[in-house]
Amino acid sequence: MRKLLDDEVRKRGRRNVVQSRSFAEMLARTLSRYQNRAVETAQVIEELIGLAKEMREADRRGEVLGLSEDELAFYDALETNDSAVEVLGDETLRAIARELVKIVRLNTTIDWTIREDVRARLRVYVKKVLRKHRYPPDKEETATTTVLQQAEVLSADWLRETT
């Protein structure tokens, strides 16, 4: 079961950085408690099954929110900031996620992760979108960094689709 969950976490890592991190931490925490003999085997199995169910629910979240898989990945990158969720709400975060997908898709090239000028320009575009929607300034830098990490992961797939 661990191998299946590890594979699922790795698969998510190719599409959604935030979800992958979250599920990897939960899996590591559960396995660590088991290895330290803090929980019994039956309880670990229950927790692993619960983790698998959470992963399935995470897949359905995009449908519920009305977001594509790519948009959901950016939405998750923005949602890591609790104050942004409280201040902006779901609707605004969805609009930002949709806008970010468009901007990132238009501005990513094969070498954008290597060329600092292209990366800097994309950073500016992301910050403009966040400011336009009044994303909390104190969390803007963290959100920008997470969005760019997410863009790196997704842009590889986007570039493969176009070639």
**pLDDT tens digits, residue range 63-105?**
888 999 899 999 988 887 777 777 888 899 999 999 999 998 8
DSSP annotation of 40 reads -
DSSP state of 109: -
Judge whether 78 and 151 are in contact, CB under 8 Å. Answer: no
- Closest listed residue to residue 63, CA positions, set 94, 31, 23: 94
Q: How confident is the model at residue 7 (pLDDT cuts 50, 70, 90)?
A: confident
Q: Report CA dihedral (126, 131, 133, 134) to the nearest 10 degrees.
A: 140
SS3 34: helix
Half-sphere exposure of 63 (CA within 13 A, CB side): 5
CB 101 within 8 A of CB 70: yes
Cα first-last separation, the chain: 36
Given a contact cutoff of 8 angstroms between Cβ atoms, the answer to whether 144 and 127 are in contact is yes
Average pLDDT over residues 46-55: 86
In the chain, what are the domain boundaries? 2-65, 69-162
Stretch 12-37: mean pLDDT: 83
The type of residue at 119 is R
Q: Are 147 and 78 in contact (CB under 8 A)?
A: yes
Q: 115 — phi, psi (to 5°)? A: -80, 115
pTM of this prediction exceeds 0.75: yes
CB 67 within 8 A of CB 75: yes
**Percent of the chain predicted with pLDDT > 70:** 96
